[in-house]
Chains A and B, each alone.
Chain A
Amino acid sequence: GAGVSQSPSNKVTEKGKDVELRCDPISGHTALYWYRQSLGQGLEFLIYFQGNSAPDKSGLPSDRFSAERTGGSVSTLTIQRTQQEDSAVYLCASKRRGDGELFFGEGSRLTVL
């Protein structure tokens, strides 16, 4: 499709397990963002990739969180040893360089039991 694709759309896991969330951005978009949205909360910035530059990881809440972007395209957000407070919707977005519109995926809803 032409939009940002995220998978899985829903993930239920047990506390302590690792999870991987995938984002496939719009082709040609150089910027890719990960945000987290908890119930009734705003969007919390996690990490930002821009082209070949080093990613801005300043929003990652702990060292259990990591992300990579391979080949300037697909990105994977990994959460190790998940905790209940990690439960949220994880949103990926991409855009062209500059101040164009940020296109969001539909999100991955993570529930940690």
Chain B
Amino acid sequence: AQSVTQLDSHVSVSEGTPVLLRCNYSSSYSPSLFWYVQHPNKGLQLLLKYTSAATLVKGINGFEAEFKKSETSFHLTKPSAHMSDAAEYFCVVRHGSGNTGKLIFGQGTTLQVKP
């Protein structure tokens, strides 16, 4: 069965330093993977998605993620954190083959950005 594990529940970085949010997945199929962001008191928004095309995926707001099959990882990175990046981040895997199937969310990582 597909699942995701976000390895850090809380990450704290200084503004202007790199961000790394870790996600490992397990999947019986070639997975579809996503990152969503939830800002305080706001709805969830798609950051980026991997659907078996390029392994390095670029998303909004300067974020990117690399699909590494050998490591079953899909870590989210950003070269330089901004204060506005402080939010909750969720790694998501689509369960099932084909282009249907439920989306399973990880437990989330809270990103804190210090001035």
Contacts and interface: CB of A to CB of B under 8 A. Distances in A.
A85 interface: no
B26 interface: no
Contacts of B90: 42-43
Interface string A36-63: 0000011111001010010010110000
Contacts of A42: 90, 105-108
Interface of B: 32, 34, 36, 43-44, 46, 49, 51, 90, 94, 99-100, 102-108
Interface of A: 31, 33, 35, 41-45, 48, 50, 53, 56, 58-59, 91, 93, 97-99, 101-102, 104-107
Given A33-B102, A42-B105, 11 more contacts: A33-B103, A35-B105, A41-B107, A41-B108, A42-B107, A48-B103, A59-B102, A91-B44, A102-B36, A102-B46, A104-B44
